[in-house]
Amino acid sequence: MIAIIGGRVHTCGSRGTIDRATILIDGTKIVDVLERADVPSDCQIVNAEGLEIVPGFVDAHSHLGIPTEGLGVPDANEGSDPITPHLRAIDAFDPFEPYIERVLQSGVTTVGLLPGSSVSFGSLIEEIGVITGMGSVIKTFVREGRVTVLREKAGMKFAVGAHPKRFFAEKKAPPATRMNIIGLIRENLEAARLYSLKKTSPTSEDFNLKKELLLELLHREFPARVHVHTVRDIISIIGLQTEFGFDLVLDHVTEGYMIADELARRNVPCVVGPLTVTRRGSDLKNISLKNPAVLAKAGVKVALTTDHPTFPAGYLPFHAGIAVREGLDYEMALKAITIVPAEILGVADRVGSIGKGKDADMVLFHGDPLEIISEIRGVMVDGQFVAGSLSQGNS
Amino acid sequence: MIVIKNAKILTVTNGEIDNGTVLVENGKIVAVGQNVPIPESAEVVDAAGKYLVPGFIDCHCHVGIVPEEVDWEYSDVNETTDPVTGHLRAIDGIDFSDRGFADAIDGGVTALLIHPGSANVIGGTDIAVKSWGPSVEDRILRNPAGMKMAWTAGGRRASRQGKNQPYPTTRMGVAAILRQYLFEAREYLKKKEAGQEFPAKSVSQLMTLEALAMVLKREIPARIHSMTPRDFQAIIRLQDEFGFDFTIEHGDEAHLIAPELAKRGIGVVYGPFLGDRWVPMFPNSNPQAAKILAESGVLVAFQTDHPVISIRDLRLQAAICVKHGLNPDDALKMLTINAAKIMGLDKRIGSIEVGKDADFTIFSDHPLLVKARVEQVYINGIKVK
């Protein structure tokens, strides 16, 4: 057993923030969080006096470990076909990509991998699709190529707006308009619905993997994760949700603040970010640093993301710091990079807060966790310090 | 006359002054200190103990030349039709009303060096401007401020620009083109000095050679987009052959040859590393690079390469380097006086000193903190935010 004593613990759960708490860890799990200092005598004590302790950070939207333009042969986007629900981001993930270690060292311990789509920018146009494939949730602590997969089918990635529009227009292939992008989605969801009606006596010839997966989406086994920027596209997507009844999460949601009340009314969780990109194209012309604060104040469930590599994954914490500077409540900002993305990814039973029964994933900071210049003393994953000075002495 | 009192002044060149006062007249700083007498006619601003910092300077960006909000067809930054476009001038492509200048002010960035893009081996001349001024002419600090060159125009870009630019596709090709043009520029200068005509193939070639002659005469430096030691060493060979000043732009692996750069007085405009270019493209990219360069005595400044990352966030890059061991005072110098030196403008901007332009920002907290808010920005003594 390990006891981490004396730190200020931001549980990001129902117990809120506890000054000078004791965290008891057994094996890979958190046993308890106590407001007193006495611990079982056989505990290994870690002195966290003067330190801030937060749950390991969770980035809900990441292309970490998946090579994109400039980092090798691009592998994040199947540009040959706009509809590829059967692809899985985890099949493109390179566990030996060197940057993964830096992400872990920054305290980001869980990421939601998605098939890629960098924001198209200038003369660079990254391949993209409309229904691009399945996302999975992994821990960033990777050893000898072995990855912990927390949830294999965590969400079906969609992309609408200027990026797919431009990519396919340049290829002189459909969809060349927003209407057709939405039309393609509608067509494929309808086809999946019809496919399910024909499945009374299925034969192997009837089997269609793309439709099977879209059917699972319609049966709410995982949400749609929709990359979207503008109000007009958000409204179209909400229309599709009303029509077909799948679970919806919006990603980036650049203009979300303009219809915050509507999003709150419909309980649509928003994975917002990255905040720091420039107004790259007409879809991003209304990007605002105040987006997360406005959405949160309206009652929308807000997670913050880097969309790595658009913004490096290791900087997720200070991304939240920027949101705080621009009006987001500090505690909400912390939750936006811990428990809220964990809930959106469907892994909140394991990660995202410091509490009984959860994985012992946490970060010990000297200084404000949301400040760049704060020092990380330790990153713990599954009950072991794997980064920071506290990890010295571990094999 | 304007007086800012009760400020925690980070002068950069003369330490910190608590409860400090700055006197501004006719756009210049006329007094700085703790016990500065305040004239009765002066307009007084109480900084309430907040930080007063010199306006930050971004040595490499494309504000106004890569337009924001509109789609890519409107981009003006790269003339990809020819590997050499030395006769082009950044000033001709800049929209001085672009929102990017307001973004700069939102981040306390008061001076910028705006470049043509890096798709060309020789791209054209760049320009140093202020983020705001009563007219375009008033905003120009130095034009031309350098000649943009790009070492990786060949290797990395060929696949993308290959349709327009069949040559060069390799670093050898890039070096050969540069050498050829520097050779011709040297010949051009010799002929000019002897009163003879240079047999140019075209007017654009003549204009390019005229601009390159300024580089050979050391009137402006070459500012060269380059990343790794083999790039730098090739450029250094050319420097020894032809004699010119240059800066390294981006310099992802510049720290590997820090002592050589220090010995030769070659400055590094480092960055950007908050966006997708940061994820290490080079095996030796090192977050301690700025620290290593500074410790070797190399002159380092930062760049956002806006809009690759927002010019507003220039100071966050400095904070990241501090996180990885860079001395905060060095970080502040890199945002201000070092950048001014790299632009050749350190007599005018880059510190809070008597005689310099009244370009400064009042921050709610130390500027290396994420939570620090830009509260007021002054350019030429006029409050612009």
**What percent of chain A is modeled with pLDDT above 90?**
69
Instruction: Give the model confidence (pLDDT) of A251-294 as tens digits.
Output: 999 999 999 999 999 999 999 999 988 887 888 999 999 999 99
Residue A310 has pLDDT above 90, yes or no: no
Choose the closest CB to B370 out of A310, A312, A325: A325
Give how far A133 is from chain B: nearest CA, Å: 22
Q: Is the pTM of this model over 0.90?
A: yes
- Asked if residue A274 lies in contact with residue A310, where contact means CB atoms within 8 angstroms, the answer is yes
C-alpha separations of A164 from A131, A209, B358 in Å: 10, 23, 47
Architecture of domain A1-54+355-395: Roll (2.30)
Q: Which residues of chain A are within 8 Å of residue B68 when distances are taken between CB atoms?
A: 278-280, 285
3-state SS assignment for residue B143: strand
Task: Inform me whether the C-beta atom of residue A145 falls under 8 Å from chain B C-beta atoms.
Answer: no
For chain A, the domains span: 1-54+355-395, 57-351
Total residue count of chain A as it appears in this document: 395
Residue pLDDT, tens place only, A135-193: 999 999 998 889 999 999 999 999 998 877 777 777 777 787 888 899 999 999 999 99
Pairing of strands A362-366, A302-304: unpaired
List the single residue in A123, A276, A372 with the smallest CB-CB distance to B323: A372
Domains in chain B and their CATH numbers?
Answer: 1-55+350-385 (2.30.40.10), 56-348 (3.20.20.140)
Q: Tell me, what's the pLDDT at B155?
A: 42
User: Quick one: pLDDT at residue B156?
Assistant: 46
**How far is the alpha carbon of A175 from chain B, nearest alpha carbon, in Å?**
18
- Supply the DSSP symbol for B39: P
Distance CA B121, CA B117 (A): 10
Quick check: A152 and A136 in contact, CB under 8 A? yes
pLDDT, residue A196, reads 86
Q: What is the pLDDT of residue A73?
A: 53
Same topology, domains A1-54+355-395 and A57-351? Answer is no
Lowest mean pLDDT among A192-196, A334-338, B256-260: A192-196
Residues 116-135, chain A, touching B (beta carbon < 8 A): 118, 120-125
| Residue A163: per-residue pLDDT | 77
Query: What pLDDT is recorded for position A121?
Result: 53
Give the CATH H-level superfamily of domain A57-351.
Metal-dependent hydrolases (3.20.20.140)
| pLDDT for res B276 | 44
DSSP A45-110: EEE-TT-EEEEPEEEEEE-TTS--TTSSS--S--TT-SB-TT-BGGGG--TT-THHHHHHHTTEEE
pLDDT above 70 as % of chain A: 91
Cα nearest neighbour of B278 on chain A: A312
What parts of chain B have a pLDDT lower than 70?
71-80, 152-167, 274-282
What per-residue confidence (pLDDT) applies to A304? 98
In angstroms, the separation between the Cα of residue A25 and the nearest Cα of chain B is 30
pLDDT at B258: 97
> Per-residue pLDDT tens for A53-75?
999 999 999 999 887 654 455 66
